[in-house]
Structure 1
Amino acid sequence: MPLTIRPVLSKRDRKTFVDLPFRLYRDDPNWVPPLKGEAQGLITPEKNGWFSHAKAQLFLAEEDGRVVGRISAHIDTLALTLPAEQGFGPGIGQWGLMEAEREDVFRALLDRAEGWLRDEGMVRALGPISMSIWEEPGLLVDGYDHPPTVMMGHAKPEYRGWIEAAGYEPAKQLFTYELDITQEFPPIVKRIIQSGERNPRIRVREVDKSRFEEEAAIILDILNDAWADNWGFVPLTPPEIKDVGVKLKPIVFNDLIRIAEVDGRPVAFMITLPDLNEAIRPLGGSLLPFGWLKLLRWLRAPKVRTMRVPLMGVRKDLQSSRMASQLAFMMIEYIRRASVEHYGASRGEIGWILEDNQGMRSIAETIESRVNKAYTIYRKAL
């Protein structure tokens, strides 16, 4: 039977869409099966606040009665309002969640996604972005030999060639950095931290989870200021903030999230999360029959190998100052100590970091971390 591409229209279709990677990656030791309930929530408008300012169409590829591929095409109306130099802007649509057994299947899916974007008035496509820039942006192009950490993606090595053969060129690269956090930082970093500790204007404090919403508002205020000019930045909306709070609150621990204050003003933050992937990987995508109990026990007192730093930010009026890096080093060091002493961690991962974010890349390199994974977001005129 010929290959057919059809839209996802029902709850059953969404389940099929989510199930496909479990077959395609079943022999890949570095793929982390997502919890199926979370994966279905991502593509269900009623369960994902991102859809309050975005729309999407999912597609399935079928052949001989089997599903052999999938893709999403989507438009973020907030991204359309941003300056073009920041990556999005008018006429920019996106695609993501791409999986396919073969290149011809991928090309057929991509053609259908591009057609949908053109029909919606888009003139350029970015991808893969699955589905918000805050979720899993970019295609893994280096670092296939070890599993991703929480909120990072994995992909088959052949996908890169398929995308580039379809006429796409790199728009931006994203990097993650890893380091051995059982080792103390170089002497120059220690001196910078000690200097900050002697400065009475500086206070680096833990967050208070009992005041979760208040602390989250402080971090969000810094984030929106610090990241406003970054490539790909799309402000989080209230529905998304609510969703993020629900998802992340169980893995928020006071000593792993720091807020830096200067003269009593919150000016910087650093969020660190225990690598939830270490806990969910053995569950095979399901919390039943006893996976929920195992996960609950882990959340009460997590012991992990890896800690991930998904977000850091310093207010724009400090970003070109020496104090910016000083605050960053102080937060990194305090969280490093807590990670080792309280959670048994031995490895840290920082990122993602934009390829042209020289400030953050310099900080990562100064603490002797190295790039362990690279992701590429591609673009193409439609």
Structure 2
Amino acid sequence: MKKSLIGIFVLGATGIACAQSSLTIFGVVDASVSHYASKSEDGNSATLASPFYVNQGSVTVSRNALANSAYNNSRLGFRGTEDLGGGLAAGFWLESPITNDDGATGLSTFSRRSTVSLMGGFGEIRLGRDFAPTFWNDTVYDPFGAVGVGANLISSASLFNPTGGAGGFGGNANYLRVSNAIGYFLPPALGGFYGQFMYALHENNAYDPGTATPPGVNPVTGQVNAGAVASTRAGRYVGGRIGYANGPLDVALSYGSSTVGDNYFAGTTDDVNTANLGASYDFGILKLFGELSRVRSTRDYAVAPLFRLPDTDVNGYLIGATVPVGPGLVRASFSRVKYDLNSAATTFSPPVPDPKASKFSLSYVHNLSKRTALYATVARISNQNGAALTVGGPAFISTGVFTPKTSTGYDFGIRHAF
């Protein structure tokens, strides 16, 4: 149950009462029985002539789990505001992830959001860890909210590398949330227009002259790594989102650039740049969603080399819909991504085919009340040319002759919000 203390806010043990203040405790507990299966296949043809070869068929790795956050992310949070007078207000928001399936994660961190704000007629200035502006289009215009086995394939491609490795596409750790951020939000009374802008400090040391930049240090062993250079810019994020919402229409455009690595002596800076456009339109009996996205991993050089490493892009789109059915809601989406490796043919070999994947998701949510819902979701991903995106759970077996192919999964669960 939501608990609000309005009119008085107790400050520690001082007993000072502040009028026009509020404190709210809120959260979500979401649990599901989930299944994930990742199937790899041997794409080589069997031969009877020399060299003799027998096709190895397929291999599947699967997992059953009592999971969390398959419809809404489980969380526990505290937020509050204080009226400062003269149209000004101060606020805070602390939100922690919860793994209610095992109870291992709770209030140990506020990694979902930890911000303090100053609000007024000018808008809002927000400081701390918050969602990246470019992530909002991936979740707002996805019928599944980028959560569970049905989540937008664009978000999956942004969170993982083409081969399924962790660390974010291009090593981008700022896809979902950004730390050390300074954000500005436009005021709400702008005739339907809204927007936000964000700059995140990298908090690395700067050296003057640059030749004083020391070698990098292995974060695990603490030993100096002669092959690396201490980062001076990695972690910086600059981005924004501007949109228009009026009646049934909502449309927004966002762009962000995240610095993921740099090397002073090599004169290089690595960035992941994200641009996306999303829209939704509510017809009453049907709400349509759509998104176009382009993410590019680039390397800039202080002095252009004779041979540049190719940039890597991932382009994607989503179309989806929700249909109210009595107390319930049907959700469906189709999404597709393609990695452009920008590889060229050589004298000895043809160009490497670009990895690509498509996903279909279907779900039904049955609302037992405003705060409690039952849900069921199924989804399937088809990978081609080495793409290894999954609906969740275990990674593909991709050793030897096996190539990632399909990933399927389901969630059956209950969500309670308070």
TM over 0.5: no
TM-score (norm 1): 0.26
Higher strand share: 2
Select the structure with the greater relative contact order (CA < 8 A; seq sep ≥ 6).
Answer: 1
Higher helix share: 1
